[in-house]
Amino acid sequence: MLAIGVDIGGTKIAAGAVDEQGRIVASATRRTPAQDPDLLEQAVADAVRELREHHPVVAVGIGAAGFVDADRRTVVFAANLAWRDRPLAANVEALVDLPVVVENDANAAGWAEFRFGPAADAENMLMLTVGTGLGGALVLDGKLIRGAGGFAGELAHMTIVPDGQWCGCGNRGCLEQYTSGSALVRSARAGAIGGDPLLAPLLAAAGGDPAAIDGPLVTRLAQEGDEGARREIAGIGAWLGRGSASIAALLDPEIIVVGGGVIAAGDLLLDPARDAYARSLTARTHRVLAPFVPASMGNEAGMIGAADLARGGSSD
């Protein structure tokens, strides 16, 4: 039984026909008309029609970057797409004549890792996606946690430093401001501008221009053994571990899956996270520590998770 998963990004719509084992048997892409909701829905429908020409499908799941209501029908708000209380599921259903569910994109990706990735044998998972920002998903007792209004899992905006770094959400000290790719770049650039001698090689690799320092450059130098770059990534990892310990005090996950672009640093990120988690966790000497493991589904996770959810993969 095939379902179509759609991952709507800021520039690209990726759709795939996905089987019950989480395998993508066919895919299609379209450009994202980010500022025109009608055109965006038509582009999604067009990709779905292309896949249906050769594959019988039973439902469509859409991963959307934004706040999705608890009934998985409406995108309440999206920062980077022109959605405000948009009945996305109903609108796409009218275009494709298939049942449609909508899920937050981080939830969809997290569900893929839970069903088909490193958390497949677990019942309780914390997923953290460390990219430009910080995404998250929670699975407890085998169920994806959405909350009363559908807004659960916004772990990026837990306050961990009172009156700390300003966040785009309007608050200060959010976890995202200390654990994301943006935080990594901000810290590295600030150190380079301030003349930190450990960051001199990084600044030289950026051609002497602090503005040219980006996440992939920091990661590459860290992998090559540069001490300053490794310190910057370890700092992000340590905050990730501290934040995860706070989440674990409330939810007690059995596995912590870490994805996103920054995971390219591998154990240079995860080892400091593991260490900080172990040092920060309540009752740490009397409990089993959740392992930190890298995500395995890559950029296809959103499609795979959305398709499985459309098939009814997570009980309400």
Note whether 202 and 283 are same-domain residues: yes
Q: How confident is the model at residue 314 (pLDDT cuts 50, 70, 90)?
A: low
pLDDT digits (tens, 9 = 90+) for 12-42: 899 999 999 999 999 999 998 888 999 999 9
State the pLDDT at residue 170.
87
Could you tell me which residue, 89 or 65, shows the higher pLDDT? 89
Mean pLDDT score of the chain, rounded to an integer?
93
- In a domain, residue 228? The reply is yes
Note whether 273 and 127 are same-domain residues: yes
Q: List the domain range (segments joined by +) for residue 273.
A: 121-295
**Beta bridge mates, 3:** 18
Q: How confident is the model at residue 153 (pLDDT cuts 50, 70, 90)?
A: confident
Residue 209 predicted with pLDDT over 80: yes
Task: Report yes or no: 153 and 107 within 8 Å, Cβ to Cβ.
Answer: yes
Q: What is the DSSP letter of 288?
A: P
pLDDT digits (tens, 9 = 90+) for 168-179: 888 999 999 999
**The two three-digit tokens of residue 113, written as one number:** 């890792």
Note whether 69 and 213 are same-domain residues: no
- In a domain, residue 142? The reply is yes
Residue 10 predicted with pLDDT over 90: no
State the pLDDT at residue 75.
92
**The two three-digit tokens of residue 186, written as one number:** 């901000």
Longest Cα–Cα distance in the chain: 61
- In a domain, residue 316? The reply is no
Note whether 136 and 100 are same-domain residues: no
Q: Residues 279-306: what's their mean pLDDT?
A: 93
State the pLDDT at residue 24.
97
Note whether 257 and 243 are same-domain residues: yes
Note whether 216 and 234 are same-domain residues: yes
Note whether 137 and 260 are same-domain residues: yes
Note whether 129 and 275 are same-domain residues: yes
Note whether 107 and 129 are same-domain residues: no
Residue 315 predicted with pLDDT over 70: no
pTM above 0.95, yes or no: no
What percent of the chain is modeled with pLDDT above 90? 80
Residue 188 predicted with pLDDT over 90: yes
Note whether 265 and 284 are same-domain residues: yes
Distance of alpha carbon 202 from alpha carbon 314, whole angstroms: 45
Overall domain count for the chain: 2
State the pLDDT at residue 266.
95
Q: Residues 214-218: what's their mean pLDDT?
A: 96
**CATH number (domain holding residue 246):** 3.30.420.40
At 15, is the secondary structure helix, strand, or coil? strand
- In a domain, residue 154? The reply is yes
pLDDT digits (tens, 9 = 90+) for 247-285: 999 999 999 999 998 999 999 999 999 999 999 998 888
Could you tell me which residue, 141 or 35, shows the higher pLDDT? 141
Reported as type and span, the H/E element at residue 187 is helix 181-193
Tell how far CA 263 is from the center of its chain.
Answer: 11
Q: Residues 118-138: what's their mean pLDDT?
A: 93
138: number of Cβ within 10 Å: 23
**The two three-digit tokens of residue 276, written as one number:** 């900080």
State the pLDDT at residue 98.
96
Note whether 42 and 166 are same-domain residues: no
Task: Report yes or no: 270 and 277 within 8 Å, Cβ to Cβ.
Answer: no
Note whether 107 and 143 are same-domain residues: no
